[in-house]
Amino acid sequence: MYFIELNNGVEIPQIGMGMAAIGSWQQDDGFVTEVILKAMAIGYRHFDTASLYGNERALGRAIKESGIPRSELFITSKVWDTEQGGKKTHDAFARSLERLKLEYLDLYLIQWPVPAYTRETWEAMEGLYQQKKVRALGVSNFRKSDIEQIASFAEVRPVINQIELHPYFTQQPLVDYCQFHKIAISCWSPLGTGGWAEVPLAEKPIMDPVIAEIAEKHSATPAQVILKWNIQQHRIVIPKSESLEHIGTNFLLSDFNLSNSDIQSINNLNCNKRLGGDPDYVHKKNITLKVPD
């Protein structure tokens, strides 16, 4: 297993399990728990959920059933747009903990920037951090301007920025800015968005002929090549899969390494093609989405 040390000294596994829409959107039943248990059996210890995903309870059940010591797991959740603000954020965190049946989280993120609420949201999160209810604080989908806003008042620095990042959308200036400031990069939809985004498979980087050629050279799958491209550039990846085969191949990446020219070939695929939400515009849609009880 690969690890990255965050700027507060906490270690995070570089490969995690993304949990948006396992089964279907906001599904929270035995199927979701079984998928998580499969991932745990293969070796996953890092699980990335959110209040909006509606499956925190299923993850909590899997943690309990697995028998894996809590200290060996890395659990992330996130505060949604409609939960931002001082007391609202504090209460949203408490609800997440209750659904997960945990005493603390390893990482808590602001899922999308809402600049009007960022200060009171972050300060509420700092309070949770100081109470040792969470081991690290971070952000998701934050632009450079959003990070600068936090830097202007924060007592606790963000350890991570979780962003859409894949070979068609590398966001290199933002990545460089974050890494310069010792903010780790975590990649959601590293293979090019899940079914929830309704992006045709043919338009995803996992189907790109350049990726296929590199995969064939290394006797690897296209997904493994994209994940390794991130791992070797010190980024965190949280692919989502439901089949035992894909859960396994996404995790088992130690048999090969990409050359510098392989990495450059993949970097060159960037065409600034965003497949998910744009932080400049997505808030209007986000506030119509309900966090389930």
In a domain, residue 53? The reply is yes
Structural domain for 168, as ranges: 3-199+229-252+272-286
Q: How many CA atoms lie within 13 A of 269 on its CB side?
A: 25
In a domain, residue 7? The reply is yes
Confidence (pTM): 0.95
- Please give the pLDDT value at position 268: 97
Q: Provide the CATH number for the domain around residue 164.
A: 3.20.20.100
Contact 249, 223 (CB under 8 A): yes
In a domain, residue 210? The reply is no
Whole-angstrom distance, CA of residue 228 vs CA of residue 257: 7
| Active-site entry in 53, 108, 117, 168 | 53
- Please give the pLDDT value at position 193: 62
- Please give the pLDDT value at position 255: 86
What are the b/e assignments for 201-233, b being 16+ CB within 10 Å? eeebbbebebbeebbeebebbbbbbbbbbbbbb
In a domain, residue 220? The reply is no
Does the active-site annotation cover 108? no
In a domain, residue 264? The reply is no
- In the sheet where 74-79 sits, what is the strand order? 17-18, 46-48, 74-79, 107-110, 137-140, 160-164, 184-188, 236-237
In a domain, residue 239? The reply is yes
Whole-angstrom distance, CA of residue 194 vs CA of residue 23: 11
Whole-angstrom distance, CA of residue 220 vs CA of residue 77: 31
In a domain, residue 52? The reply is yes
Q: Which residue has the tokens 């609420």?
A: 117
In a domain, residue 221? The reply is no
Q: What is the pLDDT along the chain (293 residues), one digit of tens a residue?
A: 799 999 999 999 999 999 999 999 999 999 999 999 999 999 999 999 999 999 999 999 999 999 999 999 999 999 999 999 999 999 999 999 999 999 999 999 999 999 999 999 999 999 999 999 999 999 999 999 999 999 999 999 999 999 999 999 999 999 999 999 999 999 998 988 655 557 777 888 999 999 999 999 999 999 999 999 999 999 999 999 999 999 999 998 888 999 999 999 999 999 999 988 999 999 999 999 999 98
- Please give the pLDDT value at position 195: 56
How many structural domains comprise the chain?
1
- Please give the pLDDT value at position 6: 98
- Please give the pLDDT value at position 197: 59
- Please give the pLDDT value at position 200: 78
